[in-house]
Amino acid sequence: MKNGSFGRYLLLQFRQVLAVVLPVVFTSLFYGCNKALPLSIDMSHGAGFLLSLILENRPAASSCATQPVLTLGESATIVLGQSDYVSSSFGSASNRLNSPQGIAADSNGGIWVADGSNNRVLHFPSTIASGGNPDIILGGVSGTALNQFKVPGGIALDSSGGLWVADGTNHRVLHFPNGITTGGSANIVIGTTGVNGTTNALLNNPSGVTVDASGGLWVVDYANFRVLHFSAPLTSGMSADRVLGQPNFTTGAAGSPPTASNLGGPASVKVDSSGGVWVSDTGNSRVLHYSTPFTNGMNANIVVGSTNFTSTLNGINTGNALWAPSGVSLDSKGGMWVTDGQFRRVTHYSPPFSNGMNADNVLGEPDYVSFNPNLTASASTTVNPFDVTVAPCGQLWVTDYSLNRVLFYP
């Protein structure tokens, strides 16, 4: 097994087995299309929608010169971690990757990538070309210091440009301030380094993070089968104030068989424009939505990837099925992209959302029923897509875990 945590191993085994803000024009705050563009704000979705775009460091759609229209099975146009689209080996050189996991796009069009088995987090600028080098490297040696990681997973950016990293085997989440440079150290630690547990202040192999409109932090506590919320102001060692997937802060049972209130192996979390959260439940092959107001152990109100809350569609390759999904990302129109790991594809869903709905776009496969059984690397295939992020102007970045690469569309 490659360098990694037991929790990450379990996650992969699941796959294998199965008007607050005013309409101001910003002339230099958001880039994303390789040049500065004014942010012309679309208020048709409400102030909450606008606020969510700003918190995700993403400009409104009208700030970009063009918007991509992705087609079924479209080929990637940039590959990172490899010199071409058919190579798949792993490496530790600065322009190589080893089991990449989380990914997040910044407001300048650059991306942060959690290079899991290399125990580092890399930043690539907006001008990056295929096979290019990062301009910032955090970590790189397995360890417990504030400038080290042990299998980093999910990553997210906050409204100030700070970086949050789920440091899996260290059982913690680290925050790095805006402007961090190569070799820099974290300034906030959520959880306790090297200590796992089931309390409101401890984590067990965290795998995903995201920031909400109030500056609070959602953390996917993978091996405790739960998602925790920490309210702002965020400080080291603080306790969570909300839990999903478990009835309280002291239980950590796996959610099997699935119900509307349990989780069988959560991987990623994202906040939508209404403040609700989407959680990918890898172990139960589904993505769940929870609406505000949140209560401990509450039921999800929408399930994607299954027709109901008590069954799965593992192995049934259709437009409404998911099999071991992990990454989730939301676009400027409120749509959702999901990395569907075991089906080796990335699927898109457009609102309004409903239980068991069909996807309306797919990458990595030519259609909704095809399956790449030969693990073939190419510009149009993905073998084990792990995470996805929407770039500022609507393009996609996808980490392809097993092929040790990151792909850009279109």
Domain assignment of residue 65, yes or no = no
The per-residue pLDDT for 63 is 61
Label residues 303-312 b or e (16+ Cβ within 10 Å = b). bbbbeebeeb
* Residues 343-369 pLDDT 10s: 999 999 999 999 999 999 999 999 999
Question: Is 348 inside a domain boundary?
Answer: yes
Residue 119 forms part of a structural domain: yes
The pLDDT of residue 315 is: 84
Q: Which residue has the higher pLDDT, 284 or 45?
A: 284
Q: 223-272 pLDDT, tens per residue?
A: 999 999 999 999 999 999 999 999 999 999 999 999 999 999 999 999 99
Confidence band, pLDDT 50/70/90 cuts, at residue 67: confident
CATH number at residue 127: 2.120.10.30
Quote the pLDDT of residue 335. 97
Give the pLDDT mean for 114-127.
98
Q: What is the mean pLDDT of residues 191-213?
A: 98
Boundaries of domain holding 292 = 6-18+73-409
Residue 30 has pLDDT above 80, yes or no: no
The percentage of the chain sitting over the pLDDT mark of 70, rounded to a whole number, equals: 84
pLDDT at 314: 87
If one counts the domains in the chain, the total is 1
Q: Which two tokens stand for residue 255?
A: 């959610």
Mean pLDDT (the chain, rounded): 88
Indicate if the pLDDT at residue 50 is higher than 80. Answer: no
Residue 228's pLDDT is what? 99
